[in-house]
Protein backbone atom coordinates (compact mmCIF):
# COMPACT_ATOMS: atom_id res chain seq x y z
CA UNK A 1 0.00 0.00 0.00
CA UNK A 2 1.20 3.48 -0.72
CA UNK A 3 1.57 6.13 1.96
CA UNK A 4 -1.47 7.91 0.54
CA UNK A 5 -3.61 4.76 0.83
CA UNK A 6 -2.45 4.21 4.40
CA UNK A 7 -3.25 7.83 5.22
CA UNK A 8 -6.76 7.49 3.79
CA UNK A 9 -7.27 4.23 5.65
CA UNK A 10 -6.12 5.77 8.94
CA UNK A 11 -8.38 8.77 8.33
CA UNK A 12 -11.36 6.51 7.63
CA UNK A 13 -10.72 4.42 10.74
CA UNK A 14 -10.41 7.57 12.86
CA UNK A 15 -13.66 8.95 11.44
CA UNK A 16 -15.50 5.70 12.19
CA UNK A 17 -14.13 5.56 15.74
CA UNK A 18 -14.99 9.19 16.49
CA UNK A 19 -18.48 8.86 14.97
CA UNK A 20 -19.09 5.65 16.90
CA UNK A 21 -17.89 7.18 20.16
CA UNK A 22 -20.08 10.26 19.73
CA UNK A 23 -23.08 8.07 18.86
CA UNK A 24 -22.56 5.94 21.97
CA UNK A 25 -22.26 9.05 24.15
CA UNK A 26 -25.44 10.58 22.70
CA UNK A 27 -27.40 7.35 23.13
CA UNK A 28 -26.11 6.96 26.69
CA UNK A 29 -27.06 10.55 27.52
CA UNK A 30 -30.57 10.19 26.08
CA UNK A 31 -31.04 6.84 27.84
CA UNK A 32 -29.89 8.34 31.15
CA UNK A 33 -32.25 11.30 30.75
CA UNK A 34 -35.20 9.05 29.92
CA UNK A 35 -34.37 6.70 32.79
CA UNK A 36 -34.15 9.63 35.20
CA UNK A 37 -37.51 10.93 33.99
CA UNK A 38 -39.14 7.52 34.37
CA UNK A 39 -37.62 7.08 37.83
CA UNK A 40 -38.95 10.50 38.87
CA UNK A 41 -42.47 9.66 37.68
CA UNK A 42 -42.37 6.26 39.41
CA UNK A 43 -41.07 7.79 42.64
CA UNK A 44 -43.72 10.53 42.57
CA UNK A 45 -46.43 7.91 41.97
CA UNK A 46 -45.20 5.74 44.84
CA UNK A 47 -44.99 8.71 47.20
CA UNK A 48 -48.48 9.88 46.23
CA UNK A 49 -49.89 6.36 46.68
CA UNK A 50 -48.27 5.95 50.10
CA UNK A 51 -49.43 9.42 51.14
CA UNK A 52 -53.00 8.63 50.08
CA UNK A 53 -52.90 5.31 51.95
CA UNK A 54 -51.58 6.94 55.13
CA UNK A 55 -54.13 9.74 54.85
CA UNK A 56 -56.95 7.20 54.39
CA UNK A 57 -55.69 5.15 57.33
CA UNK A 58 -55.53 8.24 59.56
CA UNK A 59 -59.10 9.21 58.63
CA UNK A 60 -60.50 5.78 59.47
CA UNK A 61 -58.65 5.44 62.76
3-state SS of the chain: helix, strand, coil percent to 5?
95, 0, 5
Side-chain-side CA neighbours of residue 6 (13 Å): 3
How distant is the alpha carbon of residue 45 from its chain centre?
21
pLDDT of residue 61: 79
Rounded to whole angstroms, the Cα distance separating 30 from 36 reads 10
- Cα separations in angstroms, 18 against 5, 12, 52, 58: 20, 10, 51, 59
pLDDT of residue 31: 96
Provide the residue-wise pLDDT of the chain in tens; the chain has 61 residues.
688 888 899 999 999 999 999 999 999 999 999 999 999 999 999 999 999 999 999 998 7
- pTM of structure: 0.60
Domain ranges of the chain: 24-61
Amino acid sequence: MSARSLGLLASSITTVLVTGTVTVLVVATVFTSVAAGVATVVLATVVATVFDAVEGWLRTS
